[in-house]
């Protein structure tokens, strides 16, 4: 769909008009983990780049985190909850299987005019949600959308498993997308998946295959399982190709890219991807050391931070990319 102005055809796009983020107050450092499991600050830092992560209170839910991030995004976009027409929450750690966390957020936010649903693509969830929201706006279905990536990963962690418990943290990031015309906004989104590698990162218990039972509890099927080394190798190769292909399809040179905002999973993956692209780390957003891997929340949290610090300027090209369970991977190219 295109809009005419002054005899010229202007593309209809969706544009991020507000960002927000929230992380629980409780900080769990590597030194705290040394007291829980056989690990060390040196081991964790060397292999992951993580120094600390935020942990939700026992009574704090994913929708609670969504609410705080959403309030900030709405304020930044100068909108009221009643103006939002659709709420999408990307999460794999929702409040409950039914209803959706997005519906619970709608209630807490008093966004009475909004439709609401959840989306689960694990660590790629925010970018999958961004693609869905972008297409809704370009298709004319909605004009103002609230998209949130949020996780309370700490409640799905085996704290005796040092290969996973050191990695994850809790948090939420939100964006407001609105209809716009012109050259600024989301230029493209790209989504991929390979279900043959589903067991590289998974949480087996709690679904129809392994419904909750004494057996699934005993076998710890309700905790995240991960094949770290295998995932690392595939992620680096896949993300390099993803960045190159996304820029090429949009006729953007790597030198024109102002900021790369990757999923914050592992500093070695982030640095290896940047090195293979010959992209200076000054153009890469990194906050992994303070939050750990917050899955679908990591990109919107990092985006909110760089926006509020003024690291992104008007008309800058910004590339978001993620890789996660599914396996899934995705990218989004934005002209800010």
Domain ranges of the chain: 2-182, 187-335
Query: According to the CATH classification, is domain 187-335 in 3.40.47.10?
Result: yes
Strand partners, 185: 335
CA-based angle 228:232:235, to the nearest 5? Answer: 135
Fold identical between 2-182 and 187-335?
A: yes
Exposure of 67 by Cβ count < 10 A (0-12 exposed, 13-18 middle, 19+ buried)? buried
Query: Which helix (H) or strand (E) is 230 found in, with range?
Result: helix 228-249
Please report, in tens digits, the pLDDT of each residue of the chain (336 residues total): 455 444 566 778 999 999 999 999 999 999 999 999 999 999 999 999 999 999 999 999 999 999 999 999 999 999 999 999 999 999 999 999 999 999 999 999 999 999 999 999 999 999 999 999 999 999 999 999 999 999 999 999 999 998 899 999 999 999 999 999 889 999 999 999 999 999 999 999 999 999 999 999 999 999 999 998 899 889 988 999 999 999 999 999 999 999 999 999 999 999 999 998 899 999 999 999 999 999 999 999 999 999 999 999 999 999 999 999 999 999 999 999
User: Strands (DSSP E) along 194-249, which ranges?
Assistant: 201-202, 225-226
Handedness of CA 67, 189, 235, 309 (dihedral sign): negative
**Which CATH topology does 2-182 take?**
Peroxisomal Thiolase; Chain A, domain 1 (3.40.47)
Q: Which of 181, 179, 175 is nearest to 318 (CA)?
A: 175
Beta carbons within 8 Å of 61's beta carbon, 6+ residues apart: 95, 104, 152
CA separation, residue 81 to residues 2, 130, 274, 289 (Å): 28, 19, 39, 33
Catalytic residues: 123, 263, 293
Exposure of 4 by Cβ count < 10 A (0-12 exposed, 13-18 middle, 19+ buried)? exposed
């Amino acid at each position: 769909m295109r809009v005419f102005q002054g005899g010229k055809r202007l593309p209809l796009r969706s544009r991020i008009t507000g960002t927000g983020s929230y992380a629980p107050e409780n900080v769990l450092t590597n030194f705290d983990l040394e007291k829980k499991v056989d690990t060390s600050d040196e081991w964790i830092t060397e292999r992951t780049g993580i120094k600390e992560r935020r942990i939700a209170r026992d009574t704090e839910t994913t929708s609670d985190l969504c609410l705080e991030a959403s309030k900030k995004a709405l304020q930044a976009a100068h909108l009221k909850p009643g103006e939002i027409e659709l709420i999408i929450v990307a999460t794999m750690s929702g409040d409950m299987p039914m209803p959706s966390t997005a519906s619970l957020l709608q209630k807490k936010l008093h966004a009475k005019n909004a439709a609401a649903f959840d989306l689960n693509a694990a660590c790629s969830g925010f970018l999958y949600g961004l693609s869905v929201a972008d297409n809704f706006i370009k298709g004319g279905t909605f004009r103002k959308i609230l998209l949130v990536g949020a996780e309370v990963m700490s409640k799905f962690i085996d704290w005796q498993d040092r290969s996973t418990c050191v990695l994850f943290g809790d948090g939420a990031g939100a964006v407001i997308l609105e209809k716009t015309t012109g050259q600024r906004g989301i230029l493209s989104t790209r989504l991929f998946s390979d279900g043959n590698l589903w067991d590289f990162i998974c949480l087996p218990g709690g679904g129809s295959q392994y419904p909750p039972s004494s057996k699934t509890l005993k076998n710890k099927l309700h905790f995240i399982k991960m094949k770290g080394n295998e995932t690392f190798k595939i992620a680096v190769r896949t993300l390099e190709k993803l960045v190159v292909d996304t820029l090429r399809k949009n006729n953007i040179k790597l030198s024109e890219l102002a900021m790369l905002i990757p999923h914050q999973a592992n500093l070695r993956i982030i640095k290896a991807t940047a090195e293979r692209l010959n992209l200076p780390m000054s153009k890469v957003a990194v906050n992994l050391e303070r939050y750990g891997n917050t899955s679908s929340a990591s990109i919107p949290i990092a985006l909110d931070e760089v926006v509020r610090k003024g690291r992104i300027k008007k008309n800058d090209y910004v590339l978001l990319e993620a890789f996660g369970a599914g396996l899934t991977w995705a990218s989004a190219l934005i002209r800010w």
